[in-house]
Structure formats: structure tokens, C-alpha cells
Amino acid sequence: MPSPIPVTRLLPKDFYPSLSIGVCSSPLTKYANATTLNVPAQRLHGKVASKLWSSVIHWKELQAMQQIGSGGFGSVYKATYFGDTIAVKKVKKCSKNKLASRQSFWAELNAAHLRHKNVVHVIAATTCVPANSENENNIGTILMEYVGSRNLHHIIYGSADALGKDTCLRYSADIVQGLRFLHSHGIVHLDIKPANVLVSNGDICKIVDFGSSIQVDRACEAGSVTPCLQNVGGTYTHRAPELLKGESITPKADIFSFGITLWQLITREQPYPGDREHVLYAVVAYNLRPPLEDEPLLRPTQGVHALSCRTLVCRCWSGEAASRPTAEEVLVALEELRSRP
């Protein structure tokens, strides 16, 4: 069985200079009632923010756990922590693929040291739990800000009313602002899709679920790449062709996923019919993409250089990563489209 991904691959350099890595390949140091990471202190927003950023979980302060979601590697709960509402993600130890679940937990911490209005922030994380705890079957526990119960998937497919151009472009700009920030810090999300974009009560989109993410060189926007990991994560309907072919990872993989997500916002349709294997093959071999003909926002515009949602979507999901725009360029295009009547 291959070794776990090295912690230096998954965590920012600030995290690991003083780490003592044991046989579990975990950068966490075990204590009696909590676990701590040697990380730089940063402040949060809200009441919990009165404390410095810390990866120590004070279990007695974690109360009122209520499950609100589940996935292949774990479950998400709504809870209170020091009296504030937060989200708790528990990564299962009993997954069919133990290596993948362990990698998923550490990947979740790639953006833990960062703060941005369009990225869900991490409050604390630990691999250890109090003795005789119901958490003993988990690889790790992550505390995060609680954004709410809505995500873009619910909004796109759960309403009878179309979103409209302004809303589509505003939500898209939120996502791309988050991506621009992540890419500037060398983080590629690798699983951008509507279900992984939460929408706050203030109608602000926030990127969540970094279980497939990877840290690349900080100059990634300038073209540096990271070799593609075997069994790279993500959702097949949104996965860039170069990842399907086992080629190098760049931030442009997130731009491809965003292109599919933007198409979903506009059309409110599922990307592909057919079975998974057919779709994966056709995306690479035949440049398969979702249809563009029916929606007014996706119809061709007059003029060779005319910017439209259609041209932006097509550029984002180009089969060649080098032909896709950067997050900064996508944001400029979205702002231009938003400024038009």
C-alpha cells in the first residue's frame, strides 16, 4: 500500500517547519484532552473570534450536535462552540478506502490558515478525542464557521424560478473571488461544484469542502504545475480533462469546474446524461461538454470579439488548460458582463 501524501504536500509551509512527524504521518501533537497544531495565530470573525486561531478543540464547549449532511468520508453537524453556532465535520475511520479518507482529512487543512469572505474558514482541527468518546471511530474532527444550510445545488435545482442574469453573475463572481484568493496562495480546490458552494443568509457564496484540494507552488498562476496524483479526487462531471488523463495539476483545473458550474447556474440542468464511464471517455476523447443552444444567456452574440456568457463558459471549459483564463481574467469578464444592461 502506498504511503500517505506527505504532510509537506498538503499543508502550507508555515505549518510544518517545527513539526515532528510520527508513524501516523500526522502533524498533530497529542495531549490529554485536546490536540494542537503549531500554527500561526490568526483572528476569526464573530464571538468565537475573540480567541486567537487555534487547533485545540475544547470538547466540553462543543454542544448541541445536530447532523445536517453526510458524504463518502464523513458527516457534517451543526453545533455550538463557546456558545456560537458552528459546523463540525467528522471524517470517518471506517471508510472503505482508509488511505483516501486520511488524505481527505489532511487536505481539508490546506486552507485552514487563510481568511477570505468567499471561503469557509476553519476554527480548529484534531485527530484525537477524549477517551470513551463517540468520536473514537473518526480519523479527525474539523470545526468550521457555520454559513447556513443552503448551497448552490439547492438554489439551482430546488426552486421553480430561474435565477436571472444578475444573480447568476453575482454568485459566479463570489466563487471566482474565492478561487483567485486560493490560487494566489497556491491552493487548487479540485472539487468546485454547486454542492460545494454554500450561500449565507446575506446571500454571499463561500467555497467549502477542501478534501480533494492540493497545495502547489505559489507562482502557480504564472504557469508552474504539480504532478497529478493517482486517484485524484473531485466529482467526475466537473473534472478537467487533464486530470482524467493523469496530467499535471494547475489552478486551471478549478477554472474548468467553474465553467461547468456557471453553465448549471444559467441552465439549471444537470451537466451530462449517461453513465460515468461514457462521460469520462467522451470528455477526453470527443471534447464532450454540456449543450449551449437553448438558454438566451448562452446564445451566440454578434461580432467576433463580443463577450458573452457563452464565450466565457467556452473559454473556461476549454480542453487545453493553457487556453483557459486565470481566475483574475474570469473575474474581469464577469464584472464586464455585470456592468451591461
Tens digit of each residue's pLDDT (9 = 90 or more) over 275-299: 999 999 999 999 999 998 766 777 6
DSSP 249: B
If you average pLDDT over every residue of the chain, what do you get? 80
Residues 191, 203, 209, 294: which is the catalytic one?
191
What's the mean pLDDT in 32-52? 39
What's the mean pLDDT in 82-101? 83
pLDDT at 36 over 70: no
Strands (E) located in the chain: 29-30, 35-36, 62-70, 74-81, 84-92, 122-126, 138-145, 187-188, 197-199, 205-207, 214-215
Cα gap 173→167, rounded to integer Å: 10
Q: Where residue 129 falls among pLDDT bands split at 50, 70, 90?
A: confident
The answer to whether residue 166 is catalytic is no
Annotated binding-site members: 90
The x, y and z cell numbers of residue 258, run together, are: 467553474
**Edge-to-edge strand list for the sheet holding 84-92:** 62-70, 74-81, 84-92, 138-145, 122-126
Annotated binding-site members for ATP: 90
pLDDT at 121 over 80: yes
Nearest in space to 11 (alpha carbons), one of 122, 99, 171: 122
**b or e along 33-44 (b: 16 or more beta carbons within 10 Å of the residue's beta carbon)?**
ebbbbebeeeeb
Tens digit of each residue's pLDDT (9 = 90 or more) over 68-90: 988 767 889 999 999 999 999 99
What's the mean pLDDT in 83-112? 85
Q: Where residue 162 falls among pLDDT bands split at 50, 70, 90?
A: confident
Full-model pTM? 0.81
CA distances from 62 to 38, 47, 118, 142 (A): 22, 15, 25, 12
Q: What is the pLDDT of residue 233?
A: 67
pLDDT at 22 over 70: no
Cα gap 212→6, rounded to integer Å: 15
Q: Which helix (H) or strand (E) holds 327?
A: helix 327-339
Cα gap 25→157, rounded to integer Å: 41
Q: What is the pLDDT of residue 102?
A: 85
Q: How many other C-beta atoms lie within 10 A of the C-beta of residue 49? A: 15
